[in-house]
Structure 1
Amino acid sequence: MTYQETIDYLFNRLPMFSRLGAAAYKKDLHNTIALCEFLGNPQQRVKTIHIAGTNGKGSTSHMLAAILQSAGYKTGLYTSPHLKDFRERFRINGEMISEAFVTRFTEKIKPAIDQIEPSFFEITVAMAFDWFEEAQVDIAVIETGLGGRLDSTNVISPELSIITNIGYDHMNLLGDTLELIAFEKAGIIKPGIPVVLGETSPETRPVFEKVAAEKQSPLLFADHLRYAADWQYQHHQLVVQVANHTSADRTSYTLDLPGFYQTKNLMTILEAVHQLQLKHWNIPAEAVQKGLAHVKKLTGLHGRWEVVHTRPVIVLDVGHNEDGIKQIVAQLELTPYRHLHIVIGMVKDKEIDHALALLPKEAVYYFTRAQIPRALPEDELAAKGAGYGLNGHHYPSVPDALQAAKQAAHTDDLILVCGSVFVVGEVPEL
């Protein structure tokens, strides 16, 4: 098969969550275990860090990978979904997986696909482990797809587990309370392996304490150990002064991910680095500084308050659930602009009403949809938005909506594209 034939096969032969939603979600690890056994269990020969959470796990995964690369380690990175290119999901030291490996792997795994009937995501997890083992990475950062306990990635015994935060998302699959969602995320905690928790809440803390105690796993609450004493937004970068509760000393970090919400992820990252250092990973302070300052260059991360154009400023952000939209709204309050234009599309199975209720009413809206079956039709989204005082027009595609916003915007205005990873992924090159 050619690479394009391989991609067509993977996308069309296998159940894919981005297209089908819950119908593609496999609620056990049986298929992944079977695929890994077919491959000789490569995941057992790769050192890993496992990251779950409702929001921030993508940024945290990329930031940590950038730091490990800067420390001289050959670092694998597995994330999902991709924005434009399937190969974005798999990187080693920032370089995407080769087309040749994707094709070779797919040919190799075909007999198992016919026998096991796995999902698209299960195949990509197996592909990541196989590639990382063949390339003999020093360590691989593995981001969960959905949840944790039953997520396909949860077949590893990592050096460290990280749970960024808990919010309302995928409630049809993970549960309708924060406690139930936390229980699913806590499923990545492994016996005796330290777990760093990014954000503490009264509802979820007892869940994590109970699971960690049962597994005899050290539990570190990152937001109780360090805090952002001060911060500044400079030249599309975030400069953060970090302090801890036991010393008057402060350390300054410059992040090329400028969203204010990255201050929370930074506390998680710093504690994760500390835990790795305790396990004798050689990560000097200079590597932490370099990695945080060059995440986008080192790892190829996009879509986190990403400024892609000036005059007018155009920002892309993949925030899509209630907590993600809250963070976007907080960032908007810190950002100067004359008028605000929001290009937005969402998928059907999200808590859309909760997100729409948070958005600023003074903006002009350009309602649209990504070209996937799960997308909410743009006219339905516009009607829902109107019910929350969000006014504008609707457009059949993301390029059409963005073009309309650009034509209407003054050079001092701000255009924000948000609501779905898939919407951001369909923004044309500017």
Structure 2
Amino acid sequence: MLLYDLYRGRDYRIVPTLDRIQKAVKFLGLESLPYVSFQVGGTNGKGSTCAFLESILRHHGYKTGWFVSPHLVEEEERWRINGQKMPSTKLEYYVKELKSVFERFELTYFEACTLIALEYFKDERVDVAVFEVGMGGRWDATKVCNPSVCIITNVERDHTKWLGADVESRAIEKLGIYRKGVSLILGSMKFPLYTKALEMCDHRDLIVGGLDFFSYGRVSREKTVLEEYVWEELRIREAPLGLWGRWQIGNASLAITAAGSLIRLNTDTLKEALKNTYWEGRMEIVRDDPLLILDGAHNTDSIKKVVREVKKYIGSITPVFTGLREKEWQESMSFLRELSERIYLVQIKHHRGEKLEHLEKHAKEVGFKEVVSLSSSEEVPYIEEDLLVIGSLYLVGEVKSALENARKL
């Protein structure tokens, strides 16, 4: 946690601006990058779409860089080459080399992470790089990657304090990644993202799900299959996906379209890439009996989707939940009540973790008959029942770390 420790306790205030990161990029001579970049924004599905996209590009023979946020267990997960996380020695080198730049331009933690990604991918001579937007779009540091293709998955309810309480304001913020002459791929024609895009963008740059490309698929308890995808001359049928859930059909379709807008795709290679896609903490089954699923859904819309799919294909399962202060976790908890009469609650170690007493109080208010408070995430691997860990990627990371510790005993 070399970079995180450098920023510990002093990086909590968000001031929307690109000035700091742009000055740092210019100072290091990174304004013109020697690789092609993709930038992926949206409320939900960014990480999974990035995972599919990186896999597609890598399977087609390109050396890939992939910038991820947040990390689950180890900070090195944020920077990946061909899907593999950065070695600790590399991170130590970049923190040492760039520390004075972070300080000179007063970069935030996320801006420092972005700057490391730009430099690391250049040094590793990647062919293509996939950048996941941190929050919003208009002021997000990843804009300095100068993307050749931009993607917006959707606009839902999240980060309302910074992005706006109404969905139209959030759509405008997300669309801030767009630049004229660069393809912008939208997940659907859903209001208000598509309608705002028509107002703000050159129509010739738009590629829209349900209008320009089409897909559908099926989900079972064991797998998710992209039954058909069509865009112009490209047609794919019966492609198993490495990630589970109905929403992954849309995420995979976005990734296919993004890759296909720049490179020629081979159908067999594409199917292999989709099947081999792996992304930690997204409906990740880490234990079969009893079942233990980890999912990083952390806002009302994403948790609602997970609950709907789990009820349909898996059935009753007990949630392990936490929330972050300044996040609207209360409504999410009410949806989890549909899965079980019991809930396990954890206060995570992260400084934004909601207090246990607040979680307990609300769990009782929404009707859970049994509310069990855990002293830490370390207890989760020893609970002998089917569990769904949900509510925060930080919680997922803590449980993954706890599982690793349990295996060592």
Once residues 314 and 176 of structure 2 are traced to their aligned partners in structure 1, the CA distance between those partners, rounded to angstroms, is 42
Aligned residues: 400
Name the structure 2 match of 1:382. Answer: 360
Cα offset, 1:188, TM superposition: 0.7
Which residue type is aligned with residue 65 of structure 1?
A: E
Cα offset, 1:228, TM superposition: 4.3
TM-score with structure 2 length normalisation?
A: 0.92
Question: Is 1:347 the counterpart of 2:324 in the alignment?
Answer: yes
Once residues 246 and 288 of structure 1 are traced to their aligned partners in structure 2, the CA distance between those partners, rounded to angstroms, is 16
Cα offset, 1:12, TM superposition: 2.5
List aligned pairs for 1:246-285, cutoff 5 A. 251-276=237-262, 281-285=263-267
Query: Contact between 1:43 and 1:130, CA under 8 Å: does it hold in 2?
Result: no
> 1:168-225, CA deviations, whole angstroms, 9 ceiling, x for partnerless residues?
1000001111111011110111110110001332233221111113xx6511111334
Question: Is 1:29 the counterpart of 2:7 in the alignment?
Answer: no
Change (3 A) 1:217 1:115: farther
> 1:242-285, CA deviations, whole angstroms, 9 ceiling, x for partnerless residues?
154999x7611111111222112122223223322xxxx23312
Question: Is 1:400 the counterpart of 2:379 in the alignment?
Answer: yes
Structure 2 counterpart of 1:146, from 135, 140, 158? 135
Name the structure 1 match of 2:223. Answer: 237
Name the structure 1 match of 2:270. Answer: 288
Which residue type is aligned with residue 314 of structure 1?
A: L
Question: Is 1:357 the counterpart of 2:368 in the alignment?
Answer: no
Name the structure 1 match of 2:302. Answer: 324
Change (3 A) 1:368 1:73: same
> 1:318-373, CA deviations, whole angstroms, 9 ceiling, x for partnerless residues?
00101111111121122234x42110011011112221232234511001121011
Once residues 369 and 99 of structure 1 are traced to their aligned partners in structure 2, the CA distance between those partners, rounded to angstroms, is 28
List aligned pairs for 1:73-88, cutoff 5 A. 73-88=62-77
Name the structure 2 match of 1:10. Answer: 6
Query: Contact between 1:369 and 1:375, CA under 8 Å: does it hold in 2?
Result: yes
Which residue type is aligned with residue 39 of structure 1?
A: L
Once residues 230 and 120 of structure 2 are traced to their aligned partners in structure 1, the CA distance between those partners, rounded to angstroms, is 39
Which residue type is aligned with residue 362 of structure 2?
A: K
SS in 1 for 2:211: helix
Once residues 238 and 283 of structure 1 are traced to their aligned partners in structure 2, the CA distance between those partners, rounded to angstroms, is 21
Name the structure 2 match of 1:366. Answer: 344
Question: Is 1:163 the counterpart of 2:152 in the alignment?
Answer: yes
Unaligned runs of 5+ in 2: none
Q: Percent identity, please.
A: 27
List aligned pairs for 1:72-221, cutoff 5 A. 72-213=61-202, 218-221=205-208
Which residue type is aligned with residue 288 of structure 1?
A: L
Change (3 A) 1:416 1:9: closer
Once residues 383 and 317 of structure 1 are traced to their aligned partners in structure 2, the CA distance between those partners, rounded to angstroms, is 24
TM-score with structure 1 length normalisation?
A: 0.87
Change (3 A) 1:388 1:7: same
Query: Contact between 1:361 and 1:390, CA under 8 Å: does it hold in 2?
Result: no
> 1:386-422, CA deviations, whole angstroms, 9 ceiling, x for partnerless residues?
211134221231222553xx23x2xxxx310000000
Once residues 44 and 229 of structure 1 are traced to their aligned partners in structure 2, the CA distance between those partners, rounded to angstroms, is 36
Cα offset, 1:57, TM superposition: 0.3
SS in 1 for 2:151: strand
Question: Is 1:313 the counterpart of 2:291 in the alignment?
Answer: yes
Once residues 8 and 193 of structure 1 are traced to their aligned partners in structure 2, the CA distance between those partners, rounded to angstroms, is 33
Query: Contact between 1:193 and 1:218, CA under 8 Å: does it hold in 2?
Result: yes
Query: Contact between 1:36 and 1:42, CA under 8 Å: does it hold in 2?
Result: yes
Once residues 255 and 4 of structure 2 are traced to their aligned partners in structure 1, the CA distance between those partners, rounded to angstroms, is 37
Unaligned runs of 5+ in 1: none
Once residues 181 and 8 of structure 1 are traced to their aligned partners in structure 2, the CA distance between those partners, rounded to angstroms, is 28
Cα offset, 1:230, TM superposition: 4.0
SS in 2 for 1:109: helix
